């Protein structure tokens, strides 16, 4: 089983869109996938999948007021996928988001413990991929996602904010935790990929010796035009965005995850 | 049963304490009391204060400039003079420079591990040491790298014996025990006696 967090330094990089599409791509390939939303400050996975009014959310599982059976929902049949696509949503209610922000260190310790238990359970049940859609930046929820995962896919845009921020995350968060980081550049303006602007070579130079680059996903108009209610890997599986992500998914599949004893 | 160990500086300020019995008074208060009584004993009776009995506890005091070592126990038999000397000497050999010149007192917390060596768990009150700080994911970043896998295992299991840890991490039981004690010394894990074995917990 491969377990990875989709993380970024800043918000708005497209983490949730990429995580959802990668999950669907793996499930279409026949893999059993779990996608867990760990962005408690700005939940949005429910919008993307058109799911409303769940009885239990990831917040409840981490608080030990619901079991994983209560929280996880299999949507694979809805989309006629070959593998399982199991999702755990975080609670979009503003009162719940507010409560989440007031949690103390002891709660967050319990949360990481619950996450590690769930990961182990999913491994035992034979899932192939567990993907954490994490909050941006350094919050307890995002660091918990990094700790519980085998490696991190860092989503960044081609700009100096994300370059500097991602380097800081690699040096001060992933490296101390011994978690490998893989850069995925998203929303790349096409002129930066072709012509005289050397975005690829700049990124390669900046992240040399820091992180492997998984790819560059151009800014395709189809994605914003869908207004956050369409998963391209479902609606346009042969479109350019989904095709590009299939290449990324293949690279992630090739990452060697050396199992650590006991953890 | 030993209930607390405190080290006071020459001004009577408690610079280090290890409290095994949480019902005891604040170490700073105990330190102030002992410091005042020591001064009284020295100036009016011309002798050092060696022990007092208070609230059913015996407080053993040992003055070795620049520190005063204070051990709170139930009975005189619980604390030998060798133990008090060992605590004093081990503390001075490590931290005399900090006490004399002033420095970062948080470094003294490492003395927990020395006390764990000197005082077997069965001789401390309740056979229980509570964690001082939650082992959350940010605390994990600050841990020494060699303790991180064990800490993640403890996070998942929530409580562990050295035998369980050794089996899960494929290390010897002695190594696992030593690492678990280091987590206790760092304050991110606790330990308690259960059915004659030591259980480490969050």
Report ipTM for this prediction: 0.87
Find the closest chain B residue to A111 by CA distance: B136
Reported confidence tier of residue A228, pLDDT bands at 50, 70, 90: low
Segment A199-204 shows an average pLDDT of 86
In chain A, which among 113-152 make CB contacts under 8 A with chain B? 113, 116-117, 120, 140, 143-144, 146-147
Architecture of domain B130-201: Orthogonal Bundle (1.10)
**Domain boundaries along the sequence of chain A:** 2-154+230-253
Tell me the percentage of chain B whose pLDDT exceeds 70.
Answer: 98
B184/B178 Cα distance (integer angstroms): 10
Residues of A in contact with B164 (CB under 8 A): none
Task: Determine the pLDDT at residue B11.
Answer: 86
Segment A128-144 shows an average pLDDT of 95
In chain A, which among 10-49 make CB contacts under 8 A with chain B? none
Segment B170-195 shows an average pLDDT of 87
Question: How confident is the model over B97-133, as pLDDT tens digits?
Answer: 888 887 777 788 888 888 878 887 667 776 678 888 8
3-state secondary structure (DSSP) of residue B108: helix
Q: Is residue A260's pLDDT more than 60?
A: no
- Cβ <8 Å between B140 and A147: yes
Question: What CATH code would you report for B2-127?
Answer: 3.30.450.70
Smallest Cα distance from A165 to chain B, Å: 18
Residues of A in contact with B136 (CB under 8 A): 105-106, 108-109, 112, 140
Reported confidence tier of residue A261, pLDDT bands at 50, 70, 90: very low
Distances (CA, A) of B151 to A115, A248, B106, B183, B189: 14, 32, 21, 8, 9
Q: How many CB atoms lie within 10 A of CB A101?
A: 10
Burial readout B45-66 (b: 16 or more C-beta within 10 A, e: otherwise): eeeebeeeeeeebbbbbbbeee
Which range among A27-41, A72-86, A214-228, A229-243 shows the weakest confidence by mean pLDDT?
Answer: A214-228
Residues in chain A: 263
Which positions in chain B have a beta carbon within 8 angstroms of at least one beta carbon in chain A?
133-138, 140-141, 145, 148-149, 152-153, 155-156, 158, 165, 168-170, 202
Q: Is residue A157's pLDDT more than 70?
A: yes
- Cβ <8 Å between A262 and B168: yes
- Give the bridge partners for A213, in sequence order: A183
- Give the bridge partners for A156, in sequence order: A185
Which range among A135-149, B13-27, B136-150, B166-180 shows the weakest confidence by mean pLDDT?
Answer: B13-27
Question: How confident is the model over A32-83, as pLDDT tens digits?
Answer: 999 999 999 999 999 999 998 899 999 999 999 999 999 999 998 888 899 9
Find the closest chain B residue to A120 by CA distance: B156
A25/A158 Cα distance (integer angstroms): 25
Reported confidence tier of residue A223, pLDDT bands at 50, 70, 90: confident
Least Cα distance to B176 among B154, B143, B202 occurs for: B154
Residues of B in contact with A106 (CB under 8 A): 134, 136
Q: Is residue B1's pLDDT more than 50?
A: yes
Q: Is residue A24's pLDDT more than 90?
A: yes
What's the CATH class of domain A2-154+230-253? alpha beta
Smallest Cα distance from A113 to chain B, Å: 5
Q: Is residue A259's pLDDT more than 60?
A: no
Which range among B41-45, B93-97, B194-198 shows the weakest confidence by mean pLDDT?
Answer: B194-198
For chain B, the first-to-last Cα distance in angstroms comes to: 24
Least Cα distance to B111 among B123, B94, B125, B86 occurs for: B94
From its phi and psi, is residue A60 left (phi > 0), alpha (psi between -120 and 50) or beta? alpha
Distances (CA, A) of B148 to A111, A231, B50, B85: 17, 38, 43, 35
Residue A160, CA atoms < 13 Å, CB-side half-sphere: 0
Q: How many CB atoms lie within 10 A of CB B29?
A: 11
Closest Cβ opposite residue B137 in set A108, A120, A261: A108
- Cβ <8 Å between A113 and B133: no
Question: How confident is the model over B20-57, as pLDDT tens digits?
Answer: 876 777 878 888 888 888 888 888 888 888 888 887 88
Say if residue A120 is exposed, middle or buried (CB neighbours under 10 Å; 0-12, 13-18, 19+). middle
Reported confidence tier of residue A195, pLDDT bands at 50, 70, 90: low
Contacts of B87 (CB under 8 A, 6+ apart): B5, B69, B71, B115, B118
Peptide bond into B66 cis (omega under 30): yes
Q: Are strands A212-218 and A85-88 parallel, antiparallel or unpaired?
A: unpaired
Q: Does A106 touch chain B (CB under 8 A)?
A: yes
Reported confidence tier of residue A263, pLDDT bands at 50, 70, 90: very low
Find the closest chain B residue to A138 by CA distance: B138
- Cβ <8 Å between A177 and B158: no
Start-end of H helices in chain B: 27-40, 81-101, 111-118, 137-142, 145-157, 162-169, 173-185
Q: How many CB atoms lie within 10 A of CB A225?
A: 8
Q: Does A112 touch chain B (CB under 8 A)?
A: yes
Segment A82-94 shows an average pLDDT of 96
Q: Are strands B128-129 and B67-73 parallel, antiparallel or unpaired?
A: unpaired
Could you say which DSSP state residue A158 is in? S
Average pLDDT of every residue of chain B: 88
Residues of B in contact with A262 (CB under 8 A): 149, 153, 165, 168-170
Q: What are phi and psi of B54, to 5 degrees?
A: -150, 130
**Domain boundaries along the sequence of chain B:** 2-127, 130-201
pTM of the model: 0.76
Reported confidence tier of residue A258, pLDDT bands at 50, 70, 90: confident
Closest Cβ opposite residue B158 in set A106, A113, A173: A113
Q: Does A171 touch chain B (CB under 8 A)?
A: no
Token pair 């001060």 is found at A172
Find the closest chain A residue to B134 by CA distance: A106
Are A116 and B152 in contact, with CB atoms under 8 Å apart?
Answer: yes
Task: Determine the pLDDT at residue B115.
Answer: 87
A62/A43 Cα distance (integer angstroms): 15
Among A38, A109, A111, A118, the residue to mutate for chain B (most B Cβ within 10 A): A109
Could you say which DSSP state residue A258 is in? P
């Amino acid at each position: 089983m491969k377990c990875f967090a989709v993380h970024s330094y800043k918000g708005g990089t497209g983490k949730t869109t990429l995580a959802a599409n990668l999950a669907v791509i793996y499930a279409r390939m026949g893999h059993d996938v779990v996608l867990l939303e760990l962005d408690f400050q700005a939940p949005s996975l429910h919008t993307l999948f058109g799911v409303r009014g769940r009885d239990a959310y990831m917040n409840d599982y981490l608080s030990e007021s619901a079991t994983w059976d209560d929280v996880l929902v299999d949507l694979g049949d809805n989309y006629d996928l070959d593998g399982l696509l199991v999702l755990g949503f975080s609670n979009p209610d503003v009162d719940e988001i507010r409560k989440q922000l007031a949690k103390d260190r002891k709660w967050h310790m319990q949360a990481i413990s619950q996450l590690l238990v769930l990961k182990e359970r999913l491994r035992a049940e034979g899932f192939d991929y567990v993907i954490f859609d994490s909050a941006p930046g350094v919050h307890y929820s995002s660091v918990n996602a990094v700790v519980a995962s085998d490696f991190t896919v860092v989503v960044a845009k081609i700009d100096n904010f994300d370059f500097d921020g991602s380097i800081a995350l690699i040096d001060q968060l992933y490296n101390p935790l011994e978690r490998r980081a893989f850069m995925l550049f998203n929303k790349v303006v096409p002129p930066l990929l072709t012509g005289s602007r050397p975005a690829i070579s700049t990124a390669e130079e900046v992240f040399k010796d820091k992180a492997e680059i998984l790819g560059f996903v151009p800014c395709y108009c189809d994605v914003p035009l869908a207004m956050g209610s369409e998963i391209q890997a479902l609606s346009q599986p042969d479109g350019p965005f989904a095709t590009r992500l299939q290449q990324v998914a293949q690279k992630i599949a090739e990452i060697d995850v050396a199992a650590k004893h006991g953890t | 049963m030993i209930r607390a160990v405190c080290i006071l500086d020459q001004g009577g300020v408690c610079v280090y304490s290890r409290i095994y019995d949480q019902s005891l008074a604040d170490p700073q208060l105990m330190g102030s009391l002992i410091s005042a009584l020591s001064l009284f004993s020295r100036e009016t009776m011309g002798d050092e204060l060696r022990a007092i009995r208070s609230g059913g506890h015996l407080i053993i005091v040992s003055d070795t400039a620049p520190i005063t070592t204070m051990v709170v126990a139930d009975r005189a038999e619980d604390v030998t003079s060798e133990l008090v000397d060992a605590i004093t000497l081990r503390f001075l050999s490590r931290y005399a420079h900090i006490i004399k010149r002033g420095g970062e007192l948080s470094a003294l917390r490492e003395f927990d591990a020395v006390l764990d060596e000197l005082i077997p768990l069965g001789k401390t009150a309740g056979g229980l040491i509570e964690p001082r700080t939650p082992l959350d994911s940010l605390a994990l970043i600050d841990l020494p790298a060699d303790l991180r896998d064990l800490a993640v295992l403890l996070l998942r299991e929530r409580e562990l014996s050295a035998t369980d840890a050794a089996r899960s991490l494929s290390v010897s039981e002695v190594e696992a025990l030593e690492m678990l004690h280091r987590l206790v010394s760092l304050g991110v894990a606790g330990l308690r006696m259960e059915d004659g074995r030591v259980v480490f917990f969050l």
